[in-house]
Amino acid sequence: MIKKILEWIRGDLTQLELYNKVVTHSRQELYFTELNIEDSVTGRFENIVLHLFLVINRIAAEEGVKSPRVRALQEAFVMDMDRNLREMGIGDMSVGKKVKSMAAGWFSTAKMYEAALQSDAPLDAMTEALFEQVYREKENAQAERLALHILALSKYLFSLKIETITQNKFEYPSLTSEENDLIKR
């Protein structure tokens, strides 16, 4: 019994570390300078959602959307949003409503990104989804570049063994590496 509890705790801790890796990656300066994601609370939130979607989508493809690992990542996201809202000074009475709204936004955005990846024209569909979600329909010449990067990142994650991802034993490709030169063109 204790062994099962420890395995469960260790699994959740690994998923929390994986979530933190996603957040750290999504906060890289290049996203906000070269790819013109708005460096604001909303822009950072949308970039976290985008990158979290990619990891969850990969895990769900192997284990299903209701897997404990997917659930643990989603719970880490909700807890992080709750903590961030409180740190920003949002009152206790409204935090729950805001977190609920953010979680609902997560699910609808994830469906949009999933549809884009499964589209017959994924580059066009992802560009449109990013234009709507990340860039908030503001004119932005970088939407297609970000879409190319996201499609490449999704392909990279699907090239890895699932255990490599779920055990947090992978590194994101460098945004300045040759594979991502398309961002800087």
Between 78 and 121, name the one with better pLDDT: 121
Taking the C-alpha atoms of residue 2 and residue 33, their distance in angstroms, rounded to an integer, is: 48
Taking the C-alpha atoms of residue 20 and residue 83, their distance in angstroms, rounded to an integer, is: 14
CA distances from residue 88 to 28, 84, 159 in whole angstroms, order as listed: 21, 6, 38
The pLDDT, as a whole number, for residue 185 is 46
pLDDT tens-digit profile of 111-153?
Answer: 999 999 999 999 999 999 999 999 987 777 889 999 999 999 9
Place of tokens 């099962």: 4
Give the number of other CB atoms < 10 A from CB of residue 123. 14
Q: Picking from 3-12, 77-86, 99-108, 151-160, which range would have the lowest pLDDT averaged per residue?
A: 3-12
The pLDDT, as a whole number, for residue 96 is 66
Q: Which two tokens stand for residue 76?
A: 């880490």
Between 76 and 99, name the one with better pLDDT: 76
Place of tokens 């949009």: 112
Listing DSSP states for 92-147 in one string gives HHHHHHHHHHHHHHHHHHHHHHHHHHHSSSHHHHHHHHHHHHTSTT---TTHHHHH
Range of the domain at 100: 2-184
The pLDDT, as a whole number, for residue 4 is 43
Cβ contact 90:100 at 8 Å: no
Closest CA to 80 of 19, 126, 132: 19
Taking the C-alpha atoms of residue 11 and residue 53, their distance in angstroms, rounded to an integer, is: 19
Taking the C-alpha atoms of residue 26 and residue 31, their distance in angstroms, rounded to an integer, is: 7
The pLDDT, as a whole number, for residue 95 is 65
Domain count, the chain: 1
The pLDDT, as a whole number, for residue 27 is 95
DSSP state of 140: -
- Which region, left, alpha or beta, applies to residue 89 given φ > 0 means left and ψ of -120 to 50 means alpha? left
Q: pLDDT at residue 18 above 70?
A: yes
- Specify the DSSP element, H or E, that contains 11: helix 2-26
Q: What is the rounded average pLDDT of the residues 6-28?
A: 79
